[in-house]
A and B are shown apart, each in its own frame.
Chain A
Amino acid sequence: MNWFTEVGQAFAVSSSDGIMRRYFVVNGFDGALTMLGIVSGFYVGNADDLGIVLGACVGAAIALFMSGLSSAYISEAAERQKELAEMEQAMAKDLTDTAHGRAARWVPWMVGAVNGFSPFCIAMLILSPIGLAITGVSLPASPLLMSLLLGLFSMFLLGVFLGKFAEINWLVSGLKSLVVGLVTTGIVLLVG
């Protein structure tokens, strides 16, 4: 049996697609809101040095990645080991070399990767105008303003993604997420 088949089986027996989707959205929200907050702060403060802005935001994105990866891995590994032990007791056999054993070993890493890369990739998307401006690409508006707009657009897309999967109105779901982003940005702008 090849590796892809084994991974497919591990996914099938663990029913982990739902939890991965949840982690993707939950930590994606964290990534987008964190970047919105930091970029809004720099925008209010009229930050001139884009290098400092990018450094601070990338640092936060890396911290979100590590936090997402490690927290999801630790919690999922513990949960999967408990489930495997209960299943072994019910089956009265060792399941280490079965699809269930492989799921208990691999799924925590996969869930951790989704939980870590979700905020990191969204953060990189939001920061892309700042990176482009630093490399000399001319933008139609202020890079900080474009990052803020991209952050709000990411929030909207995450809401649309949730709406599609929940089979509810994707536009309403997207707008709800957008409102969360707008409120967050508004508070930072007011406080700043």
Chain B
Amino acid sequence: MTKLTKVVLDVLKPHQPNSLDFADHIAQAGPDYDVHLTVEEMDEKTHTLKIVVCGADLDFAQIEVAINDLGGSLHSIDEVQVCNG
């Protein structure tokens, strides 16, 4: 059975909540999620983010829910790492 262990996402979010709260909310989507968030671009009302989420067995649907819940918009999945076992 395959497990998703790393995903790199391109996300657009409003200025609020701030990056710390946004990353914290995504990390709460799973028990051992390690979230690395980088602000790539800042516009008048939005931030473009690169978000790297790592974990033993990521639940991508929950990550997407967490992003949408805070007003974020998932633009693309730029990188994934999947393990068999």
Contacts of B71 in A (CB 8 A): 13, 87, 91, 95, 98-100
Contact status of A9 and B45, CB under 8 A, knowing A91-B12, A99-B17: no
Which interface class (under 10, 10 to 19, 20 to 34, 35 or more) fits A?
10 to 19
- Which of A15, A86, A99 has the most B CB atoms < 10 Å from its CB? A99
Interface residues on B, range: 10 to 19
Kindly state whether residue A190 has any CB partner on chain B within 8 Å: no
Q: Judge whether B69 is part of the interface by a CB distance below 8 angstroms.
A: yes
B16 touches A90 (CB 8 A): no
Residue-wise, chain B 8-30 has the 8 Å CB interface mask toward A (1 for contact) of 00001010110001000100000
* A183 to B71 Cα, complex, angstroms: 49
Contact A90 B70 (CB under 8 A): no
Tell me which of B12, B14, B25, B44 contacts A100 (CB under 8 A).
Answer: B14
Chain A window 1-16, contacts with chain B (Cβ cutoff 8 Å), 1 for yes, 0 for no: 1000000010011110
Within the complex, what minimum Cβ distance (angstroms) separates A39 from chain B?
43
CB pairs A–B below 8 angstroms (13 shown): A1-B69, A12-B21, A13-B14, A13-B16, A13-B71, A15-B16, A90-B14, A90-B43, A91-B45, A91-B71, A91-B73, A99-B70, A100-B71
A contact residues vs B (CB 8 Å cutoff): 1, 9, 12-15, 86-87, 90-93, 95, 97-100
